[in-house]
Amino acid sequence: MNMALSRGLRCCQRVFSWIPVLIITAVVLWSYYAYVFELCLFTITNTLEKVAYLLMFHICFVMFFWTYWKSIFTPPATPCKKFQLSYSDKQRYDLEERPDAQKQILVEISKKLPISTRAQSGAIRFCDRCQVLKPDRCHHCSVCETCVLKMDHHCPWVNNCVGFSNYKFFLLFLSYSMLYCVFIAASVFQYFFKFWVGDLPNGPAKFHVLFLMFVALMFFISLMFLFGYHCWLVAKNRSTLEAFSAPVFISGADRNGFNVGIRKNLEQVFGENRRLWLIPVFTSQGNGHHFPLKNHSSASQNPLLPNEDMWDESDDGSEEGSLGEFTSVFVMCRIAYTCSVVSVRVFLYIQV
């Protein structure tokens, strides 16, 4: 009975967790209708202005939707099998009742792994739920019920954990959301003013244009503060969790332990190829399990790091992943082009 109730509650929780995403989607779809049809097709009379607005709007819309999709549906990266306890180690750990002895077992296992951070108590960070040694910057998400690499926070607006695998997408989502709002507000303003003073006749378009202006400004102001905060985090190479609780190293807590300079901090998130910085394809450096440290001298004194070279990284499927990313770029460009062409054809059809 209790198990059935627990499953039912989890199911309800998963359903309700999509409500914020549905709200955002509904607002965006309404903004598409209000801008494309009520403003561009039914209110604006200048043909050149219509075509220019429709083209720019669809570029902003596709980039916004693309980054939002990637933020939502990119699975959180989790620790690889090398950080999981082997069967024999798990037996040793479970059978040992003394906490000090359990800590020593974890220390012995961690010597084979590139781990440089500790728990607040100084012990090796270990997740009892996932049964893994936590890599640097990895945390357990109680909502996703898994350990997430370089976890930043769990965002209800994307119904996903923001971490190593999708942090770039989340930042681009914020930036393109702001661009979307700014473009709408800037292009709508003159018609908003004309409706406001009565230069344009009352009709269904009036409500949509006026409300479109208010919604765009409201979302822009909210996003501006959030985007600014995350820009500061990227510049300092901190996650939201690390901004509130400094990571602990052998030498003690250090909020700037992973800060290796603004340029390298940016490259860790966006990659070295700057032409791909503004495109939502995965280009972040590393594999999310270990990160360069600010003080390399202190890192060399860390007894957990000498065997880092022994830890073999797995790059399986990297070529297939890159091919898939560039294919998605082509597909989204085709979608933007098709939407613009369809809008123009609808306009020409209405004119006829």
Determine the Cα–Cα distance for residues 178 and 180; give it in Å rounded to an integer. Answer: 5
Determine the Cα–Cα distance for residues 103 and 99; give it in Å rounded to an integer. Answer: 6
Please name which of 91, 36, 90, 27 lies closest in space to residue 58, comparing C-alpha atoms. 36
Please name which of 177, 140, 145, 180 lies closest in space to residue 158, comparing C-alpha atoms. 177
Catalytic: 155?
yes
Determine the Cα–Cα distance for residues 148 and 151; give it in Å rounded to an integer. Answer: 5
Q: Find residue 161's DSSP bridge partners.
A: 154
Q: How many other CB atoms are there within 10 angstroms of residue 155's CB atom?
A: 18
Pick the catalytic residue from 60, 138, 147, 155: 155
- For CA atoms 187, 189, 193, 196, give the dihedral sign: positive
Q: How many other CB atoms are there within 10 angstroms of residue 281's CB atom?
A: 19
Strand residue runs (E) in 134-279:
139-141, 146-148, 153-155, 160-162, 248-249, 252-253
What H or E segment, with its residue span, contains residue 273? none
Residue that is written with structure tokens 């003690």 in the block:
252
Q: Which two tokens stand for residue 167?
A: 């942090």
The number of residues in the chain equals 352
Question: Among all residues, which ones are annotated catalytic?
Answer: 155
